A and B are shown apart, each in its own frame.
Chain A
Amino acid sequence: MSDINQARTALTNRILGGDGKTSPADRRAAFNDSGLAEPLRALVDKVAMHANWVTDQDIAAAIASGHSEDQVFEIVVCAAVGQANRQYESAFAALDAATGKD
């Protein structure tokens, strides 16, 4: 049985609420793909929606705007986990609807 919900919550709590080089508000915004200023907004949106469209220039622009590599690392991780999380929760709701669970 592969119930990853507890481990998924632990991952989310760690990246959003644990120690980091980026503010929790910015990590949450990256996770939600909402509320960041350029150029992070464009980078995060690509990570969420078309990660294979991310270019060297996207990362370079994030660094050039004053973010450290560690901050970009955290922001990109939060964006990736956030989008996968939304997919997972959509699918679980669909499965519950199909099997009659609330």
Chain B
Amino acid sequence: MRLKILDSGHGFGTKALFALIRTVSRQPVLDVVKLVQYRADFYGKPMGAITQDAMRGPSAWSVGDRELMAAYVAKTNECEFCIKAHTAVAQAAYRRDGKTVPDLSSNLDTAPVDEPLRSTLVMLGKLTREHVVDAEDMRAVLAAGASRQQIVDALAICFSFNVIGRLADAFGFSVPGPKAFDAGAKYLLSRGYR
């Protein structure tokens, strides 16, 4: 973490919470948790309300699909922390639903993803990479079978993870081993983002 305040500038109560997390999970506290707990009224709480709604609020997209979108936005931004974190949650969510998470490590054109998820991911990738999309991009997603509301829901996810990924990279989140991400995924599936 490039700012010491984000690593160790928290109040006594928050530090006690971190100690509890370390004890229960037997893993280090993820840097994203340290970020959202630092001066939480400035960023963590108002951002958490958005992310919770986008990722766990009512939607035609499954939780697994939404976590996959988060991972794909992270992949487009080349944010290693977020790719690993949300691939782990997507895997756990799909597993819970008796499905296998699509492998997006290669080209999206050849990845085993059904419509309208595939076209939605293509649009989110363009928006993340180029910062703009146009009506033709949206018509392609609608033609693939997505409803307007599904697109609205996907854009909320895209917003959240274009904020979080930028902060992860700018603040220099450390990238722990897979056990830490698995512990984080378990928490995010059961408790959400608040």
Contacts and interface: CB of A to CB of B under 8 A. Distances in A.
A65 interface: no
B169 A2 contact: no
Given A4-B53, A73-B39, A88-B158, 8 more contacts: A1-B149, A2-B153, A2-B156, A15-B43, A51-B169, A54-B170, A88-B159, A97-B134
B17 to A, nearest CB: 20
B46 A10 contact: yes
Given A14-B42, A77-B43, A98-B135, A87 B128 contact: yes
12 contacts: A2-B156, A7-B46, A10-B49, A43-B170, A59-B3, A79-B170, A84-B158, A84-B159, A87-B159, A91-B155, A95-B148, A99-B148
A48 B163 CA distance: 9
A72 interface: yes
Contacts of B3: 59, 69, 72-73
Contacts of A81: 163
A91 to B, nearest CB: 5
Contacts of A56: 2, 172
Interface of A: 1-4, 7-8, 10-11, 14-15, 18, 20, 43, 46-48, 51-52, 54, 56, 59, 69-70, 72-74, 76-77, 79-81, 83-88, 90-92, 94-95, 97-99
Contact of A98 (B38, B142, B166): B142
A69 B5 contact: yes
A7 B4 contact: no
Contacts of B138: 91, 94-95, 97-99
B5 A95 contact: no
